């Protein structure tokens, strides 16, 4: 009886050891790992280097062992932004201008983005640089300084036409700052001031020319019509007399007395 009991105990111990070893080996070969995907994220499940499926929000178990190597690449689908700062580009008339640009975007196809882009931000950064340069090099500095809204539209349209191929939606692209060095800024201010002064002189000259033309027209009318001239004289005398304190001597010809 004692031998039977001893044999049963040994069998139980052996079974426990075998189960423990099997579980140890299983964990070593499979290596299960828990992965949690949040509501604003999308996971892409890869097994042995191949994309298997997309995973929505929830908790998952993946295996990273020798027999089954799985990985979940998690992508944030919320709105994101990229700043492209201190981009110095030469304008058509040879002036170096510095730009700061902000791009807002979101990933709408995580699988496509993973397949086609090793680095989404690098791709966006390079695309902004390329299209900004294409816009600036064909414009002079005054057009660049005053045409920020136009550049925003051109850059956004260019990115919008490119990035959907990579699973990315462009929400907005804005030139946040356009700046010149101090020396060029002072030169531009001087040019603007000179232009305003020249415009003021031009307007004054136009007014004087218009006034001279009006006087010449009046003189011609009075020369052609002596009675009009006399009426104008009487009008001047009447206005002066109304102010008082003045004495006038008027010489009349015989024809005028008649």
User: Which pLDDT tens digit goes with each residue over 66-79?
Assistant: 667 888 999 999 99
As its CATH architecture, domain 80-180 has: 2-Layer Sandwich (3.30)
Angle at 170 between CA 166 and CA 176, to 5 degrees: 130
In sequence order, the β-bridge partners of residue 80 are 105
In sequence order, the β-bridge partners of residue 73 are 44
Q: Please indicate whether residue 113 or residue 8 has the higher confidence score (pLDDT).
A: 113
How many C-beta atoms lie closer than 10 Å to residue 26's C-beta? 13
Q: Cα–Cα distances in Å, from 41 out to 75, 79, 104, 140, 168?
A: 6, 12, 18, 45, 14
All structural domains of the chain with their residue ranges: 2-76, 80-180, 186-257
Q: What is the dihedral of CA 212, 214, 216, 219, to 10 degrees?
A: -140
pLDDT digits (tens, 9 = 90+) for 230-249: 656 666 656 666 666 666 56
> Rounded distance, CA 79 to CA 154, Å?
21
How many C-beta atoms lie closer than 10 Å to residue 113's C-beta? 20
Nearest to 82 by CA among 41, 108, 130, 121: 121
pTM of this prediction exceeds 0.75 = no
* Least confident stretch, 206-210, 227-231, 251-255: 251-255
How many C-beta atoms lie closer than 10 Å to residue 210's C-beta? 10
């Amino acid at each position: 009886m004692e031998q039977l009991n001893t044999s049963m105990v040994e069998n139980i111990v052996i079974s426990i050891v075998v189960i423990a070893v099997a579980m140890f080996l299983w964990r070593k070969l499979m290596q299960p790992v828990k992965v949690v995907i949040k509501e604003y994220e999308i996971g892409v499940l890869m097994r042995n280097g191949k994309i298997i499926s997309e995973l929505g929000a929830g908790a998952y178990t993946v295996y990273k062992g020798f027999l089954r190597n799985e990985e979940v690449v998690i992508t944030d689908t919320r709105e994101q932004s990229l700043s492209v700062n201190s981009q110095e580009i030469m304008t058509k008339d040879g002036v170096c201008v510095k730009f700061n640009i902000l791009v807002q975007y979101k990933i709408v196809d995580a699988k496509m983005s993973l397949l086609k882009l090793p680095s989404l931000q690098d791709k966006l950064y390079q695309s902004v640089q390329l299209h900004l340069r294409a816009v600036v090099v064909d414009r002079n500095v005054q057009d660049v300084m005053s045409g920020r809204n136009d550049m925003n539209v051109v850059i956004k349209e260019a990115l919008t036409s490119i990035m959907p191929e990579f699973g990315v939606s462009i929400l907005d692209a804005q030139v946040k700052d356009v700046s010149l060095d101090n020396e060029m800024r002072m030169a531009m201010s001087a040019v603007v001031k000179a232009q305003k002064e020249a415009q003021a002189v031009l307007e004054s000259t136009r007014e004087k020319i218009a006034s001279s033309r009006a006087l010449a027209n009046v003189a011609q009318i009075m020369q052609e019509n002596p009675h009009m001239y006399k009426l104008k004289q009487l009008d001047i005398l009447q206005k002066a007399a109304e102010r008082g304190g003045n004495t006038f001597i008027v010489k009349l010809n015989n024809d005028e007395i008649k």
